[in-house]
A and B are shown apart, each in its own frame.
Chain A
Amino acid sequence: MGMEALQMELQMMGYRLNYAFVINAIICALIIGPLLGALGTMVVAKRMAFFSQAVGNAALTGVGIGVLIGESYTSPYVSMFSFCILFALLLNFTRNHTKMSSDTLIGVFLSISLALGASLLLFISAKVNTHILQTILFGSILTVSKTDIAVLSVVAIILLAVGIPLFNKMLLASLNPALAHVRGVRVQLMEYIFVLMITIITVACVKIIGAVLVEALLLIPAAAARNLNKSLGGFVLWSMIFSLSSCLLGITIPMLFDIPVPSGGAIILVAATFFLITSLMRGLLPQFKEAKI
């Protein structure tokens, strides 16, 4: 009897994973995971984690504007991309033209974008199903469509085409701008390209991970990978592995076990588990302690 129940349960799990929306979500995870993992190493190296948080918050405003001007409330990409790109460019421009420290400025912009986005969304909530707010904030695999996959694929191709040849230049520009300049790097241009990269991937990931949590998936897998690695190769590779695993497990576990949590939340909780484990390993195992010298 017990065996039969187990067989039934396994069969049900198989059915659940065959739903079209689950397959869409897994395709998204296969794209998002490695991409955010790799980009996250740059975010950590350049100490830009809160920048992506600010852009994530700006996406809320983008959604609000989209609904107001009549875009589809499930995929208001034109408004989201337009507003977030403007927001990111303005933030970076202000950072370059004031003497304010980056964290202060990003903090100010982050608060403004959250206040603006939350106000606008509550203002328009009468027009849309309020459930959409939860989807935007924390992600939902149920709403991932072929359009979302297409947008994500285009963004992924752009990021790979731009990010791979410019990786060294962007990293060197953040480590020592004067040295990078002598090496022929256009430092300010690299900064703008990097913030645009973060912005477009953040917007493309809002549907599946959620506006509030995209930053976490840029940061946590990279932070977990940093705990274990001493070289850039291992850092990038493990960050990609942690990020991909977090996406796949975060999407499939709630489905398989019928746990009613948003996909974004589940993905970040899995990533956080990786971070916890690697932090313990770093603290307890001597081979990971070199960086503390």
Chain B
Amino acid sequence: MGPKISVKNLNLTLGTTRVLDSVDLEAKPGEVHCIIGPNGGGKTSTLRCILGQMPHTGDIEFEWEVNETIGYIPQVLEFDRFLPVTVNNFMAMTVQTTPAFFGLRGIFKDEVHNALKRLGLEGKEKRMMGSLSGGEKQRLLFAQALVPEPSLIILDEPMTALDEAGMTVFEELIIELKNEGKTILWVNHDMEQVGRLSDTITVVDSQVIAHGPTETTLTESMRHGNFRGDLKGVAA
């Protein structure tokens, strides 16, 4: 089972701007928890604080049950498209210490192959990263997050460049990972997807506007992108 994540009184100030103000968040083991809210509301900042990448105040606790491995899927991978790095090179770079130019080590081959297969990237191991489409790169970012096997998966809006087929692969995988007991923390813009796939949500716009089970917390106005207008049904 994945970890429980508790965030209490999270504050983040950058320069003179208060980005996050007393944000509380809780994700239970094995659930899909989405962080939603307007653009610039602090969703990614919340994730980055949880990952220890931004100077913040407040308490962030993980209660790990099994391994403490986090699979992180960023929004995009900026890449010099002419750089001679293949899909396998990239996977080697992320999972092993032996320099990627020596190739993927034997002990990781099966795990990497399975991860690529789960994302529909089988047979593209020798393709240059620069020749992958935006959607394929995002699938690759998901694949690297699966090796070594994580108990917590953190997604930062990684679905922006996906086509319909890619989206289906992503969604099926999220359901599979949830069924395997992994905790999933997900910044997501697609309210329809949030409604279908998440168990709980936290709505952040500098402060927490609402949080609780998706079914009762995600209002109709939120589904249309209005996060402050209608707070009916909020389980605060």
- In the complex, whether A285 has a CB less than 8 A from a CB of chain B is no
On whether A230 and B128 interact (CB within 8 A), knowing A175-B77, A175-B78, the answer reads yes
- In the complex, whether A284 has a CB less than 8 A from a CB of chain B is no
- In the complex, whether A259 has a CB less than 8 A from a CB of chain B is no
Q: Which residues of A contact B128 (CB under 8 A)?
A: 230-231, 290-291
Q: Which partner residue on chain A sits nearest B154 by CB separation?
A: A182
On whether A291 and B89 interact (CB within 8 A), knowing A181-B51, A182-B72, A230-B84, the answer reads no
- In the complex, whether A171 has a CB less than 8 A from a CB of chain B is yes
* Cα(A230)–Cα(B90), bound, Å: 12
* Cα(A276)–Cα(B130), bound, Å: 23
Q: Which residues of A contact B52 (CB under 8 A)?
A: 181
Q: How far is the CB of A100 from chain B (nearest CB, A)?
A: 16
CB–CB A167/B83 < 8 A: no
Q: Which residues of B contact A47 (CB under 8 A)?
A: 80
Q: Which residues of B contact A237 (CB under 8 A)?
A: 101
A residues 174-223 near B (Cβ < 8 Å) are 175-176, 178-179, 181-183
For B51, give its contact among A171, A178, A230, A291 (CB under 8 Å): A178
- In the complex, whether B197 has a CB less than 8 A from a CB of chain A is no
- In the complex, whether B100 has a CB less than 8 A from a CB of chain A is yes
* Cα(A41)–Cα(B93), bound, Å: 14
Q: Which residues of B contact A168 (CB under 8 A)?
A: 92-94, 96-100
B residues 111-141 near A (Cβ < 8 Å) are 126, 128, 130-131, 141
Q: How far is the CB of A114 from chain B (nearest CB, A)?
A: 27
CB–CB B131/A293 < 8 A: yes
Q: Which residues of A contact B103 (CB under 8 A)?
A: 233
CB–CB B72/A231 < 8 A: no
A residues 27-57 near B (Cβ < 8 Å) are 41, 44-45, 47
8 smallest CB-CB distances across A and B, nearest first, come from: A182-B72, A167-B99, A235-B84, A232-B89, A236-B101, A229-B84, A232-B101, A293-B131
Residues of B within 8 A of A (CB): 48, 51-53, 70, 72, 74, 77-86, 88-89, 92-94, 96-103, 126, 128, 130-131, 141, 144, 154, 156
- 26 sample A-B contacts, Cβ–Cβ < 8 Å, listed by A number: A45-B80, A167-B101, A168-B96, A168-B99, A168-B100, A172-B93, A172-B94, A176-B74, A176-B78, A178-B51, A178-B156, A179-B74, A179-B94, A181-B51, A181-B53, A182-B70, A183-B72, A183-B94, A226-B82, A226-B84, A230-B84, A231-B85, A231-B86, A233-B102, A233-B103, A235-B85
